[in-house]
Amino acid sequence: MHIVECENVVKTYQQGKVSVPALRGVNLFIEKGGFVSLAGPSGSGKTTVLNIIGGLDTPDTGRIIVDGNNYNDMNASQMAGLRLRQIGFVFQSYNLIPVLSALENVEYVMLLQGVHTEERKDRAMAVLDEVGLEEMYNRRPAELSGGQQQRVAVARAIVSGPAIVLADEPTANLDSKTGKNLMEIMERMNEEKGITFVFSTHDKMVMECAKKLIHIKDGMVTDDPIQSL
């Protein structure tokens, strides 16, 4: 069963008076429960693909279906609800809220979802324990290492039980040992919880951890026209 379907996705950006093609008719299918890497050099279009799958950007043309939701049929409010409840995000720059503790950062998505205070706290503590931060609930991002901040970001992404987690260059700012540990955590979440993970990366280690690679170059999938995972 496909959790992601992208068909003939085209995206062009305007830089002044110049049109810069980012995606040139991308087709890819991702199976539910996949652990997938979008691999390619900087500027290849892999982050654009990830942002379009996550509803953070919109294609010029093409069809996107994520977890049964056809983006062409959805308005801005519906898209926001989809991102809140069905998609988790892990960003290269962590994107934690500086004034909140690790626990509060993980709780934040559930706060937006209207989850009761006690349940929010219990679930946030449990998932921080799962990523090895059981003694750091009350530390703010500035008091955490880069690897610890990224683990908080992973905890925040998975705490509400999304169908899919999208991670943009998750190991880019980490040393190799910390990056490997982070990938092992996400792989365990994939296997134990059935969450689909999709990464964009040019990190060889991340590619080796993935169960399936989709190679993207110059805005196109470069292996087969359609990649099945």
How is residue 226 written in tokens?
């359609």
Asked whether residue 151 carries a pLDDT value surpassing 70, the answer given is yes
pLDDT band, residue 223 (cuts 50/70/90): low
Closest CA to 172 of 126, 141, 213, 203: 203
DSSP state letter for 73: G
The β-bridge partners of 14 are 19
The topology under which CATH files domain 2-221 is Rossmann fold (3.40.50)
Q: Please write the tens of the pLDDT for every residue from 27-85.
A: 999 999 999 999 988 889 999 999 999 999 999 999 999 999 999 999 999 999 999 99
How is residue 116 written in tokens?
């009761």
pTM of the entire predicted model: 0.90
Domain extents for the chain?
2-221
